[in-house]
Chain A
Amino acid sequence: MSTLEIRDLHVSVETKEGAKPILRGVDLTINSGETHAIMGPNGSGKSTLASALAGHPKYKVTSGTVTLDGEDVLAMTVDERARAGLFLAMQYPVEVPGVSVANFLRTAKTAITGQAPALRTWGKEVKGAMENLRIDAAFAERSVNEGFSGGEKKRHEILQLELFKPHFAILDETDSGLDVDALRVVSEGVNRAKENTDVGVLLITHYTRILRYIKPDFVHVFVDGKIAEEGGPELAERLENEGYDRYVGTGATMA
């Protein structure tokens, strides 16, 4: 049982005009096996939270703490965070030309676990995970994310979630841009990871649609860089009906 604890987190982004504050005091505790949905209108800071937790250099933590089972996550480099058990499924996965998916997966798995995976079982595991996510076997030899469609990129992110078996997974708008079929395949992957590994999930989304496939235990509404309201799954249903208007006034809707 692991705990990821975020306390009074303030984060700024570097812009040409100087540091611009985005997160203004986020408090959140996630335990193994729990699924937390973070919802909120565009620009509320949801994705900044994801990037800051992963350690993206563009985002500066100005105050607050993040700990993983008491260890100071903010003191870790990006790769140390991943090896400690954090995983970020990115909203816009990056192309890495000339590096094959197979090589990338093996290199990352080796880095995360500290030893190369056994050739025989690893090959089978990758193949099985790709089949489950309806990823064609030929993808193993393609360059990472290069020429992938939006849906293929997201499935490749979830493939990594299933193979790397992190303690905590942050899914940054994994559902955006997916059609219904792809959304179902991706959601099944997340649910498999939850069943198989007791992963704690931080599911960041603008829409309630994905919550029909991945059931959240807690829903947090993000407004203006902090959590404005918290509740259970029923809060998502209310947002489905009412939108974010009550938090941000008129103009901001779910659509």
Chain B
Amino acid sequence: MASITTDHSRAVADGAHSHAFGAGSVPQGSRAERLTSFDLADIPVPTGREEEWRFSPVARLQPLFDADLSGAGVTVTVIPAPEVKVETVARDDARLGTAGKPGDRTAVSAWNAFEQATVVTIPVEAVATDVTSVRIDGVSSEATAAHVLVRAERHSQAVVVLDHAGVATVSETVEIVVEDGAHLTVVTVQDWSEGAVHAASHRARIGRDAKLKHVVVTFGGDVVRITPDAEFTAEGGEVEMVGLYFADAHQHQEHRLFVDHAVPSCRSRVTYKGALQGQGAHTVWVGDVLIRANAEGTDTYELNRNLVLSDGARADSVPNLEIQTGEIEGAGHASATGRFDDEQLFYLQSRGIAETEARRLVVRGFFAELIHEIGVASVEERLLASIEAELEKSMGVITGAPALGTVA
């Protein structure tokens, strides 16, 4: 079996790589020291050599580094659940910019450029009876900024689905505020057409005993780069971050997560799975988890798995766990990138199942477990159908090729 597999779950407490036990020993490049700012002048245009850009096709993202993102390349349409309130507000609305500061160039450009924002509010103690749908449709390729704020007020419950389709060159900010005791699910689906370039900064704040389920699904677009940040602001918070992606030839799909355990007794789970097929398909997953010195009782685990289905595809996977206190419940991570498991295929084929169908079963199975964790039936059905469509496209080229890429 020719697969590259690194499973850090067996090396969690070895103090190696970014595990820094004990307060005071902050390793170089700590997420705690990463510059964040609302000021465009503070975060220069990257060269591509920076840590956070080293896997990215910066030339293709260049239009989104620009200060001028005044295009009208997307339309935003919201179909809210009956209990949910939707507003379009000007950039000076006081509710905007409360879920953390931009952490990279596309995020700070987007923050400085947007003119109007869409605010979705789930009022205090409201329980939404339906999914709230936010459609972001690309209508032209002019560089554009977009801003969405989802606010789940205290003890409310809702599911909000952001759908991206069409062709656009867009830098998007999604602010997510989950107030005390609220349960919010945010799903973002990138089902762009060919030619789309999309950068998105998701910044979430999670209050006391609040729960956020954050789901990222990326299938389409030329370049998609999403940076979900989650920060706990009070004890008892929980975040579950789930992602799945399927990159075809010449697509770049990058997901960089940051979970900031800034307060005690919070729980985070990150599970991202991707499949790649075709020449030049490139996926990047970076999962940073920071457990600050005062965040005692933290419980965190992150996992990334990639299935490389053909020659010429590359998956990069970098989990980072920084631990500044030893008084935690648990902290672990695992990353594995591999090709088809020959033994799995042999087993299925030895039961009469033809090779193509056997490969389909394996890929479907790979994603099915994750899709069933989303917990929103309409979304699950759509995703299973999308996986089928991806498999339909890829059957000619999925041959079981050696995996390429870095696993840190």
Contact = CB atoms under 8 A, between A and B. Distances in A.
Interface of A: 54-57, 77-79, 81-83, 87-88, 90, 93-99, 103-104, 107-108, 111-112, 143, 160, 164
A236 B61 CA distance: 73
B349 interface: yes
B353 A79 contact: yes
B355 interface: yes
Contact of A57 (B346, B347, B362): B346
Contacts of B368: 98-99
B339 to A, nearest CB: 14
B346 A96 contact: no
Nearest to B364: A98
Interface string B284-326: 0000000000000000000000000000000000000000000
Given A96-B365, A98-B367, A98-B369, A82 B343 contact: no
Nearest to A107: B353
Contacts of B354: 79, 111
B2 interface: no
B361 interface: yes
Contact of B352 (A57, A82, A95, A98): A82
B344 interface: yes
8 contacts: A79-B355, A82-B349, A96-B348, A96-B361, A98-B365, A98-B366, A104-B348, A164-B351
Contacts of B362: 96, 99
A112 B351 contact: yes
A117 B405 CA distance: 43
B350 interface: yes
Contact of B344 (A88, A94, A112, A164): A94
Contacts of A97: 365-366, 369
Contact of B364 (A57, A81, A93, A99): A99
A58 to B, nearest CB: 8
B357 interface: yes
Contacts, number: 80
B342 interface: yes
B343 A94 contact: yes
Interface residues of B, number: 24
Interface of B: 341-344, 346-355, 357-358, 361-362, 364-369
A122 B358 CA distance: 21
Contacts of B349: 55, 77-79, 82
Contacts of B347: 90, 93-94, 96
Contacts of B367: 98
A57 B342 contact: yes
Contacts of A108: 348, 351-353
B267 to A, nearest CB: 23
B352 A111 contact: yes
B365 A99 contact: yes
Given A90-B350, A98-B364, 17 more contacts: A54-B346, A55-B349, A78-B346, A78-B349, A79-B354, A82-B349, A82-B350, A93-B347, A94-B346, A98-B365, A99-B362, A103-B361, A104-B361, A107-B357, A108-B352, A112-B351, A164-B352
Contacts of A104: 348, 351, 361
A79 B369 contact: no
B366 A54 contact: no
A88 B364 CA distance: 25
A93 B362 CA distance: 15
A111 B353 contact: yes
Contacts of B351: 79, 82, 104, 108, 111-112, 160, 164
